[in-house]
Amino acid sequence: MPGKNLSREEARDRAAIIRVESYRVHLDVSAAADPGRPTFRSTTRISFDCAEPGATSFADLLAPEVVSVELNGLALDPAEVFDGARVTLPVLAAHNELTVVAECAYSRTGEGLHRFVDPADGETYLYTHYEPADARRVFANFEQPDLKAPFTFTVTAPAAWDVYANAVHERITDEGAARTWEFAPTRPISTYLTAVVAGPYHVVRDHYTRELPDGTRLEIPLAATCRRSLAPHFDADEILTVTKQGLDFFHQEFDYPYPFGKYDQCFVPEYNIGAMENPGCVTFREEFVFRSKVTEAAYESRANVILHEMAHMWFGDLVTMKWWDDLWLKESFADFMGSYAQIGAGTRYRSAWITFANRRKAWAYRQDQFPTTHPITADIRDLEDAKLNFDGITYAKGASVLKQLVAYVGRDAFFEGARAYFRKHAFGNTVLTDLLDALEETSGRDLRAWSAAWLQTSGVNTLTPELVHDAEGRITELAVRQDGTPLRPHRIAVGLYDLDADGALLRTDRYELDVAGERTVVAAAAGRPVPALVLVNDDDLTYCKVRFDERSLETLRTGLGGLGGLGGLADEAGPDAPGLARALAWSAVWNLTRDGLMPTRDYLDLVLRFAGRESDVGVLQSLHQQAGDALAVYADPARRAEYGTALAECALRELSQATPGSDHQLAWARFLADTAERADHLQLLRGLLDGTGRIDGLTVDQELRWSFWLALASHGRASAEELAAELERDNTAGGRRQRTQCLAALPTPEAKAAAWAAVVDSDELPNALVEAEIAGFNRPGQRELTAPYAAPYFEALETVWAERSIEIAMRIVGGFFPRYQTTPETLAATDAWLSTRPDAAPALRRLVLECRDDLARALRAQECDAQ
DSSP string, 753-822: HHHHHHHHS---S-HHHHHHHHHHH--TT-HHHHGGGHHHHHHHHHHHHHHS-HHHHHHHHHHSS-TT--
Contacts of 596 (CB under 8 A, 6+ apart): 857, 860, 861, 863, 864
**pLDDT (0 to 100) of residue 855:** 98
Q: Does 572 score more than 70 pLDDT? A: no
Q: Does 571 score more than 70 pLDDT? A: no
Q: What is the 3-state secondary structure (H, E, C) of 150-169?
A: CEEEEEEEECCCEEEECCCE
Reduced to 3 states (helix: H, G, I; strand: E, B; else coil), residue 731 is: coil
Longest dimension (CA), the chain: 92
**pLDDT (0 to 100) of residue 578:** 65
Q: Does 570 score more than 50 pLDDT? A: no
Q: In 10 A of CB 411, how many CB atoms?
A: 12
Reduced to 3 states (helix: H, G, I; strand: E, B; else coil), residue 45 is: strand
Q: How far, in Å, CA of 193 to CA of 126, rounded?
A: 16
Shortest CA distance to 375 belongs to which of 431, 437, 327? 327
Shortest CA distance to 40 belongs to which of 79, 80, 67? 67
Is the peptide bond preceding residue 842 cis, with omega within 30 degrees of 0? Answer: no
- Tell how strand 490-499 and strand 533-536 pair up: antiparallel
Residue 211's DSSP bridge partners are 217
Which stretches within 616-748 are classed as H helix?
A: 617-629, 640-657, 663-675, 679-690, 702-714, 720-729, 733-745
Q: Does 1 score more than 70 pLDDT? A: no
Reduced to 3 states (helix: H, G, I; strand: E, B; else coil), residue 544 is: coil
Reduced to 3 states (helix: H, G, I; strand: E, B; else coil), residue 268 is: strand
Reduced to 3 states (helix: H, G, I; strand: E, B; else coil), residue 507 is: strand
**pLDDT (0 to 100) of residue 503:** 87
Nearest 10 degrees: CA dihedral of 406, 410, 414, 417? Answer: -150
Judge contact between 685 and 673, C-beta under 8 A: yes
Q: Does 193 score more than 70 pLDDT? A: yes
pLDDT tens-digit series, residues 18-44:
999 999 999 999 999 999 999 999 999
Reduced to 3 states (helix: H, G, I; strand: E, B; else coil), residue 723 is: helix
Strand-by-strand arrangement of the 563-565 sheet: 533-536, 490-499, 505-515, 563-565
DSSP 87-142: EEE-S--SEEEEEEEEEEEPBSSSSEEEEEE-TTT--EEEEEE-TTT-GGGTS-B-
In which band, very low, low, confident or very high, does the pLDDT at 565 lie, cut at 50, 70 and 90? low
pLDDT tens-digit series, residues 810-867:
999 999 999 999 999 999 999 999 999 999 999 999 999 999 999 999 999 999 999 9
Judge contact between 423 and 441, C-beta under 8 A: no
Contacts of 17 (CB under 8 A, 6+ apart): 50, 51, 52, 55, 57, 92
pTM equals: 0.96
DSSP 379-440: ---BHHHHHHTSSTIIIIIHHHHHHHHHHHH-HHHHHHHHHHHHHHHTTSEE-HHHHHHHHH
Phi-psi region of 73 (alpha: psi -120 to 50; beta: other; left: phi over 0): left
**pLDDT (0 to 100) of residue 564:** 82
- Tell how strand 18-28 and strand 151-158 pair up: parallel
pLDDT tens-digit series, residues 539-548:
999 999 999 9
Among 309, 654, 807, 850, the one annotated catalytic: 309
Q: What are the distances in angstroms from CA 788 to CA 215, 416, 811, 817, 826? A: 70, 59, 20, 12, 11
Measured distance between the N- and C-terminal CA atoms of the chain, rounded to whole angstroms: 51
Q: Does 57 score more than 60 pLDDT? A: yes
In which band, very low, low, confident or very high, does the pLDDT at 303 lie, cut at 50, 70 and 90? very high
**Phi/psi of residue 556, each to 5°?**
-65, -35
Kindly state the helix (H) or strand (E) to which residue 378 belongs, with its residue range. Answer: none
Is residue 309 annotated as a catalytic residue, yes or no?
A: yes
Q: How far, in Å, CA of 675 to CA of 671, rounded?
A: 6
pLDDT tens-digit series, residues 789-825:
999 999 999 999 999 999 999 999 999 999 999 999 9
Shortest CA distance to 200 belongs to which of 179, 176, 173, 169? 179
